[in-house]
Amino acid sequence: MNSKSQSTPLMPPNTQTLDTQALDTQPSSAPNHAQPTKIAVHNASAFTTPADVKQWIKTQAQALGFADCGFLSVHHPLFIQQTEHLKQWLAKGYEGQLQFMHNNHHLRAHPEQLVEGAKTIISVRMDYLTQTPAPRAVTDNAYPNQGIIARYARGRDYHKTMRSRLKQLALTIEAMLPEWQHLNIGSEQDFIFRPFSDSAPIFERPIADAAGLGWTGKHTLLINKQAGSFFVLGELFMSLELPDDEPVKEHCGSCSACIDVCPTQAIVAPYELNASACISYLTIEHDGIIDPKYRRAIGNRIFGCDDCQLICPWNRYANITPVEDFAPRHNLDNSSLLELWQWQEAEFLKKTEGSPLRRTGYVNFLRNIAIGLGNAEASRDIIAELEAKLGQHSAMLDEHIAWAIKEQQAKLNRHEP
C-alpha cells in the first residue's frame, strides 16, 4: 500500500508497502572468478560519461519488468533529515503496534552501514495493476458482499519477485564492469551489491522521491506523473559510484481527494498519516481486537485498502503491469465474504502460500472477514454462518463475530415490519 511501502510516514502497502521487521544486510560480492552472463555491447565507446552508464542500467531495468529507476548516493542528506522526521512522527504515537520502527535509527540515517562498500542506491518501481480501475471512483464500495483485497496483494508476494529481479539487474551490471573502467566509477574493483524490498530499515519512499521516480502525495504514497501510484518500490545497493538523479516537482496542488475519501480519516493532515487508524495497518499489521470505532468504516476491506489511490486523479494514467506474478490467484479479485469465511486453516495456508495474505495470519484474516460480514447486506444466512464459528478459535475472534451478528440483526430489524 506503491506496496503500502514507501514508508515513513507509514502508508498503505500500495503496498509502496508497510515496512517490515526483517533486517537483511549481508552484501553480495561478485568475485573475480565469477562468470556472469555476457552482455553484447555493439559500441563500447558509447560509454563516455557516468550518465551513459545510468541510462544503460535504466534500459536493462525496464527489460526486467521495472517501470523506471533512479539513482541516489548512500550519503545523501535526506537520510539524516528523514530520521529526525521519523522520530517526530513516532512521538505522536502514529505507529500503533509497529514498535520495530523505533529501532535501527542509526542504520536509517547511515545506509552505507547496511552494505559495506555500497556507494549508490538504485531505486526502482514496478507497476502492479492487472486491470484498469474506473477513474476517480471507489468502486469497491459497490460490492458490499465481496471481500476486497488490496490490488497489490492478489497475486504472488511481490517482495520475492522484486528481490529476484534486482539480483538479475545486479548481475547484468556486473557483467559490464570491464566496459566502464575508464569512467572512474569504481568498476575496476570487486562489485558489491544487495537487493532490498521491505527487508531492512530503509527510507524507501523518500529515496524514490529524491531519485526522481515521483513526488510524495498528501496520502504519503509516491505519485508519478505518467503512472499514478499503483506501483511498488525496491532498492539495489551497489558499489559503483554514480551521480544522483534530481527530484521532480510535486503536482498535488490544492487537491484533497485522498484526505477526504479516507474511511477512517487516517490522513490527519497533508503528508501525515496516522498509521494506527489506516485500514491497511488495521487489516494487515494490527494483531488482536480492532477498535469498534473503525469497524463500520472498514466496510468490506479484508486485506489492505486502495481508496486513497482509487480516488487520486493521477491514477487515470496508471499502467497495467507486464509482470505476471501480480495476476490474481484463487479468484482473490472476485470472492464473496462468505466464500472466504468458509476457508479452514489448512485451506488458508495452501491458498496463501507465496502470497502477501499469509502475513496477517488465519485468525486475524477471519477477524477481518467477520467485520466485513457485519457490514454486508442484511442476511439471515450470514448470521447463521457467523454463529457457526463462535467458540472455535479465540475470544478475540468471538468478540468480532458477536459484533458482526449484532450489526446484521440491527439491519434485519430495520427492514422487517
Residues marked active site are found at 198
Angle at the Cα of 152 from the Cα atoms of 147 and 337, rounded to 5 degrees: 5
* CB neighbour class for 395 (10 Å; exposed up to 12, middle 13-18, buried from 19): exposed
In one letter, which amino acid is 394? Answer: S
- Residue written as grid cell 525496464: 62
Please state, in angstroms and as integers, the Cα–Cα distance from residue 76 to each residue in 116, 164, 385, following that order: 16, 26, 55
- CA–CA dist 239, 225 (Å, integer): 30
* CB neighbour class for 36 (10 Å; exposed up to 12, middle 13-18, buried from 19): middle
Q: Which three cell numbers stand for residue 341?
A: 469465511
- CA–CA dist 216, 229 (Å, integer): 10
Kindly write down the DSSP assignment for every residue of 279-311, as one continuous string. HHIIIII--SPPPHHHHHHHTTEEE---HHHHT
Residue 386 belongs to what H/E stretch?
A: helix 380-388
- Sign of the alpha-carbon dihedral angle for 305, 98, 19, 343: negative
- CA–CA dist 198, 215 (Å, integer): 20
179: nearest Cα among 35, 62, 56 = 56
Which residues in 210-286 belong to E strands, given as ranges?
A: 215-216, 222-223, 231-238, 267-269, 272-273
CA dihedral 263, 269, 273, 279 (to 10 degrees): 0
- CA–CA dist 383, 400 (Å, integer): 13
Q: What are the residues facing 235 on neighbouring strands?
A: 123, 196
Reading phi first (left if > 0) and then psi (alpha if -120 to 50, else beta), residue 73 is in beta
